[in-house]
Chains A and B, each alone.
Chain A
Amino acid sequence: MRERPETDIVIIGGGIVGASLAYELAKYQLKVVLLEKEAELSFGVSKSNSGIVHTGFQDDPSSLKARLAVRGNQLYREMARLLDFPFIPTGELVVAFPGEREALEQIKENGERLGIPGLEMVDGKWIRVHEPNLSSEIECALLGPTAAVINPYEVIYAMAENAASNGVKTYCDSEVISITRGSDGWKVKTSNSEYTTRYVMNAAGLSADAISQMAGIRAPRIIPWKGEEFILDRHADRLTKNIIFPIPRKETKGILVIPTVDGNTMIGPTSEEIDDKEDLTTSEAGKEKVLKSIKRIVPCVREEQIIASFAGLRPAIEEDEFYIREEQDGFVNIVGIKSPGLTAAPAIAEYVVDMLAKKMRLSPRQGYIATRRAIPRFRHLGSDERNRLIKEDPGYGEVVCRCELVTKSEIREAIKRGARTLDGIKFRTRSQMGRCHGAFCTMKIMAIMAEELGVPYDRITKRGRGSELVREGHELQAL
């Protein structure tokens, strides 16, 4: 008799796709394991995503990715409420310069075919009133009111926390080193453990081709496309209310103006095919390219307003489409999830679960917990709520990050919920993200981590092994 595998589903990759799968699968009576090779969830492709929940109208309306993006957009609204993460319905404008109106009409038609609600052509007069910072040369624009912004990492943590409360086991620092097919299912071996499972879901982003290869399954080759982005000072205020797009070109959606969840404006990304899956450098050339492109749309942007920059890699494949299929009995590839991948992710998870439902009986999880609460953000609370929190826990009265008003208890809570690195704490609390860039709070946060996690300072990292802040053996004895 065949032995029943110990796990039903192993998800490889803790980015937005893996977290969406974990969240969706947790609704059913299944044993699910989520594996991430980095120190924390979201630390691969997802953390440097632009954070846009697209309307879906930029893509070919007959494509799977356009369909999933439109559905994903709908799902985020409900999820934001259930999982308590910020979802800012900014809306988007695709702007047209003289001679580009026809292309805009085409996009509108595509959007309408996809059933995207509220699409509207607006003229120059409307633009001058509602988006006064846009170039006066812009003739008209297509307004997509359903576009929004999120913080990708916040959404991932929210989904993973909910999944964990419904029994999903997450393991970080767990790089998959081999996948073999046995009589009792797939054997997935990681750097520190081994799992036997009926299903493997490969959501490994940039490594998805390598993971598929490991199982002996051919999958499209991943071609990293680099994007550099630049964040503007909060004092510069929001440049625009809507996300601003130029007319999209074939390979990308172009260089955008993005009002972020946190009240800054972000400009970018560049788009460049590269060879190195670890190349996260930013460059002068990238900055100049973004500024040149953005100044055409928003002439008042100044280089001095840039306060931070980062780069990310899109896990592109040759074909301009998502590659989602069950390859062999129980091995599901979810490969080439680039833009609008973040938008589509919840719908990708739904799509995969539908595939699964055709093969096995899925019964709803008993005692399913549908919600998750965010870490209280002291900064956003009223005085009564603040005093109530401080009374319960005086750590909420101890400000650690002065720029973003983050308290000691928020840091502690982030650690309780799985933060193990300074970046993990940054993404969960916004500490270190303000105008001092961590100069005042880094050491104070490290002291809290050392206390809560019971580790020495030289084991604390920025984002995982190798990124220690204090050099080993260099704790000074005299002090």
Chain B
Amino acid sequence: MAAAVGAATGGLRRILLLERLPRLGGILNQCIHLGFGLQYFKEELTGTEYAARYKQMVSERDIEVRTSCFVHRITPHREITFVCADGEFAVSAENIVMATGCRERTREMLTVPGTRPAGIFTAGLAQEMVNIYGVMPGKEAVVIGSGDIGLIMARRMTLEGAKVHAVLEILDHLSGLIRNKVQCLDDFGIPLYLQHELLEIMGKDRVEAIRYRNNQTGEEKVLACDTVLFSVGLIPEQDLLIEAGIKPGNGIHLVGNADYIHDYVDAVTREAEKLGKSLT
């Protein structure tokens, strides 16, 4: 949205904004916690509110918005193909901005030994379950990795009545923001164990326990739980370009978390607006 707003503000016409979901806003829509907008809007907003502000800005400008449209192909000649309930269409443009965000690293990518029961989620999927669909992924949780979404979800699960036993971090320092550690873990008495490594997931049909090790002392422990949330890093979503063998440039741009992982949405939207304006 910010790139489209920037481009329209800069005077560009014929801007098409394609979104795969039924509404604009992307992952912000499931971020119902505070902490957004302090830099850009100079007030503290939820992610959902932040997205709503931008939706308003988009609607006030000459931007054609199409939601529930999935772009699945891009060519070096700046032609894209998208599919929606009306069919499959091709569009070409002078500039293509890929604001496709990022995806989470998963348990599979870490090849954690053990079984493959239900009850293993990325923190972002758990967030979607709780905040969008209103369902609880579990009652006794452990968070693996101290990324921001993991910290936020430790608090969110606690607020919804789950017991979050611990956040395990393999590194000797926190991955997410200090602010989130204080507000999401410390305020709720959830321990953060640094230099602790997940060794095994146990349970036949549903998670029953995890085995982990304190890498400082070498001590191993088993912790009973029914849910394991992974917050172990984000990967810029550039696969459309990778599959087509395209590098950014020549009118194809990556912006926001699709370019590299940012800490604040405010910085993402600033960069995107700047990029949008530069296209005119």
CB of B72 within 8 A of chain A?
yes
Question: Which chain B residue shows the least CB distance to A405?
Answer: B72
Interface residues of B in 116-161 (CB under 8 A from A): 116-119, 121-122, 124-125, 128-130, 132-139, 160-161
Nearest residue (CB) in B for A379 is B72
Least CB separation from A231: chain B residue: B108
A467 touches B128 (CB 8 A): no
> Cα distance A387–B82 when bound, in Å?
12
Residues of B within 8 A of A391 (CB): 87
B residues less than 8 Å from A475 (CB atoms): 134-136
Contact of A443 among B84, B109, B129, B226 (CB under 8 A): B129
B: interface residue count bin: 35 or more
Nearest CB to that of B139 among chain A residues? Answer: A471
A461 and B111 in contact (CB under 8 A), knowing A399-B83, A470-B136? no
B91 on interface, CB distance cutoff 8 Å: no
Decide yes or no whether B247 CB sits under 8 A from chain A: no
> Nearest chain B CB to A434's CB is how many angstroms away?
9
Using an 8 Å CB-CB cutoff, how does the interface string of B62-81 with A read, 1 for contact, 0 for none? Answer: 00000010101000000001
Tell me the chain A residues, 382-426 only, with Cβ under 8 Å from chain B: 383, 386-387, 390-391, 394-395, 397-399, 402-403, 405
CB <8 Å contact, A468 and B204: no
Contact yes or no, A307 B134, CB < 8 A: no
Q: A387-B88, A399-B83 are in contact. Are A282 and B114 (CB under 8 A)?
A: yes
Instruction: Report B-chain residues with C-beta under 8 Å of the C-beta of A1.
Output: none
Is the Cβ of B118 less than 8 Å from the Cβ of A471? no
Q: How many residues of A contact B (CB 8 A)?
A: 56
Total number of residue pairs linking A and B with CB closer than 8 Å = 134
Q: Is the CB of A399 within 8 A of B132?
A: no
Query: At the interface, yes or no: A99 with Cβ under 8 Å from chain B?
Result: no
On whether the beta carbons of B106 and A436 are closer than 8 Å, the reply is: yes
Provide the residues of chain A in CB contact with B83, threshold 8 Å: 378, 386, 390, 397, 399
Q: Does any Cβ of B come within 8 Å of A320's Cβ? A: no
Chain A's closest residue to B83 (CB) is A397
Q: Quick check: is A64 within 8 A (CB to CB) of the other chain?
A: no
Q: Is the CB of B87 within 8 A of A386?
A: yes
Chain B residues lying within 8 Å of A462, measured Cβ to Cβ, are: 117-118, 205
Is A397 in contact with B85, judged by CB distance below 8 angstroms?
yes
B119 touches A281 (CB 8 A): no
From residue B74, how far is it (CB to closest CB) to chain A in Å?
14
Q: Is the CB of A439 within 8 A of B124?
A: yes
| Cross-chain contact B242 with A235 (CB below 8 angstroms) | yes
B104 contacts chain A at the CB level, 8 A cutoff: yes
11 further contact pairs, Cβ within 8 A, besides A282-B113, A310-B116, A457-B135: A281-B113, A284-B113, A306-B111, A307-B108, A383-B81, A390-B85, A403-B239, A437-B106, A439-B106, A474-B136, A475-B136
Interface CB pairs A-B, < 8 A, 21 = A230-B111, A282-B111, A282-B114, A284-B113, A310-B116, A387-B88, A390-B88, A394-B85, A397-B86, A399-B20, A439-B106, A439-B124, A439-B125, A462-B118, A463-B205, A468-B118, A469-B137, A471-B138, A471-B139, A478-B134, A479-B134
